[in-house]
Structure 1
Amino acid sequence: MSELPRQRPVFALVVRLGAAFVLSVMLVFVKLLGESGVHLAEILFWRQVVTLPVLAGWFFAAGSLHLLKTQRIGLHGKRAAFGLIGMVLNFGGVLLLPLAEATTFNFTSAIWAVILSALLLHEKVGRYRWAAVIMGFAGVLVIAQPGKGDIPLLGAAVSLSAAFMIALISIQIRDLGKTEHPLTTVFYFSAFTTPVLALSLPFVARSHTPYEWMLLGGLALFGIFGQFLLTVALRIGAVASVIVMDYSAIIWATLFGWAIFDRLPTAATWLGAPLIVGAGLLIAWREHRLANSPQK
């Protein structure tokens, strides 16, 4: 059995902050590619395909090819199927909504995780986390303002569905993590999804300008780097501690939305976002307290 990595909680927070920034930049590439007319399926293909040679090269150089052996190939396939749906919804939400709103709706994944843990894992959910669920969805209603808001309801629905899939996938990854190395899970995710996405290329691919190739390259590189930082942060820090750093993404989404797309969040977003972020922080705080409680 390999030695457990040394815990470095402060450095883990810094790494997770870096991951939030890097993945925010990746979403900028997604939105710019969509505005250039590149099809979503092709965006997803280039996001995934580069991961395979990069990780294969790392496994070979590190002498860790044994990590690719798995007894749970079926579960990897199931995780890949759910992950592909989640990526379609996540990137689709970014294309349909301004960056700040898409990012804010993604934060509801913590709220969905509470609901799923009660329904699927039969975990006991106390009043604090149920209160956070209510507060978070109140924030969603404030931002979306069904029937009279400035936010397209289709985009809101897609982004909320993406957050739901993130929560569902996190349960699968938690299960896989009991036996699999994190990068092994990432590798098989790309290995399963890349051929599926490649089947769409004859129907959606087209020639690209140098600018578009630059965007596609940036998308792939920042995506891989973001995944690497997420993995490192989770290996050297506690989940409940580092995950709160993800909320810094709203800062980058707001800045990038203003500087690149000339779009600031609506007044409703300024009111609703604190409710969603506050709900996520309350859930993280409560899970941290429960994890450190002497009572089981």
Structure 2
Amino acid sequence: MALSLRLVAAALLALLLALVKLASESGLALPEILFWRQLPTIALIPLFLWLQRSLKKLSTQRLPQHGVRAAIGIVAMSLNFGAVTLLPLAEATTFGFTSAIWAVILSAIVLRERVGLWRWSAVTLGFLGVIIIAQPGDGHVPLFGAAVALASAFTIAIISIYIRDLAQTEDSITIVFYFALFTTPLLTLVLPWFWTAKSPEQWALLGAIGLVGLVGQILLTAALRFGQVASVIVMDYSSLVWATLLGWAVFDRLPPAITWIGAPLIIGAGLLIAWREHRLALGPRANLANG
């Protein structure tokens, strides 16, 4: 079930990024896109739960943890949306896959977890893929855009740890609601500086961003509730297929050959990390080497 949820979420989030890119190219500013991405959540989730007679799901004893998750989450969302406005869809999506690599680095530095040869090799492999795609100094990818995408993946790695912890006691829809509840007022404060008159097409884009983003985030969070991070995150790689198709169909752009050389290295690194963490979870008998 967790894998299916994550698979659908990956498709929806690829669509979300395409909509964000369209909205940005239509002249809408990033803070305004973020605001309309979050606002529908505050109204639609309570309405849905009220119709289901399940409003009690919104009760929580962990407001501080939701606040921390929201603070990191709004930074991650800003960087993620910013990356897709600076990069082609496929490249922005590929750099996002480095979240698994950042998770290994975080576990070693912050959690003091022992990381052995397998996972450090995966980290090296993944960043080799990043260098190949970015081609520092002589590439088709803007280095600033690549840096924003990598920073987004880093913050997403942090969020995955927080969501996994929250999901032990909170429903996925509760986590999504409090994320919007904490961040929408902050976005409201900056909105007057970016507000513009909108065409019907722009309003349609903003409405689609809010709806697709809400459903995708609920499914994404639910997958972390029902499955291990190392297992469900494998399904995220399917979003590269959707990003490539959307980039071709909507923006008339296909990734260059260099992306198809670097992307398998990044994906391979993520799969190696997922495999190794699965082996570690099985216990000492399953491990032939440390880390």
With normalisation by structure 1, the TM-score equals 0.92
Indicate yes or no: 2:100 matched with 1:106. no
* Alpha-carbon offset, residue 150 of structure 1: 1.1
Matched, 1:160 2:150: yes
Structure 1 partner of 2:244:
254
1:236, distance to aligned residue in structure 2 (A) = 4.0
Structure 2 gap segments, 5+ residues each: none
Higher alpha-carbon deviation: 229-238 or 82-91: 229-238
Match of 1:82 in 2: 72
Correspondence 1:203-214 to 2 at 5 A = 203-214=193-204
Q: 1:59-74 maps to which residues of 2 (within 5 A)?
A: 59-74=49-64
What TM-score comes out, normalization by structure 2 length?
Answer: 0.93
Kindly indicate whether residue 171 of structure 2 is the aligned counterpart of residue 181 of structure 1. yes
Report the AA paired with residue 68 of structure 1.
Answer: L
The aligned length equals: 286
CA distance in 2, matches of 1:186, 1:294: 36
Give percent identity, aligned residues only: 61
**1:74-96 CA distances to partner (integer Å, 9 max, x unpaired)?**
22112111111111100000000
The amino acid that maps onto 2:205 is: L
Give the one of 137, 155, 160 matched to 1:147.
Answer: 137
Worse overlay, 273-282 or 232-241 = 232-241
Cα displacement string for residues 210-261 of structure 1 (whole angstroms, at most 9, x for unaligned residues): 1111111111111111122223433444433322111011111111111111
Q: Aligned AA for 2:105?
A: I
4+ runs deviating over 6 angstroms: none
Letter in 2 for 1:257: G
- C-alpha distance in structure 2 between counterparts of 1:227 and 1:100, whole Å: 20
Structure 1: stretches of 5+ with no match in the other structure: 1-10
Root-mean-square deviation (Å): 1.6
Which residue of structure 1 aligns with residue 34 of structure 2? 44
Instruction: Tell whether 2:11 aligns with 1:18.
Output: no
Q: Secondary structure at the match of 2:31?
A: helix
- Residues 235-254 of structure 1: matches in 2 within 5 Å? 235-254=225-244
2:43 partner amino acid? P
Q: More deviation in 174-183 or 26-35?
A: 174-183
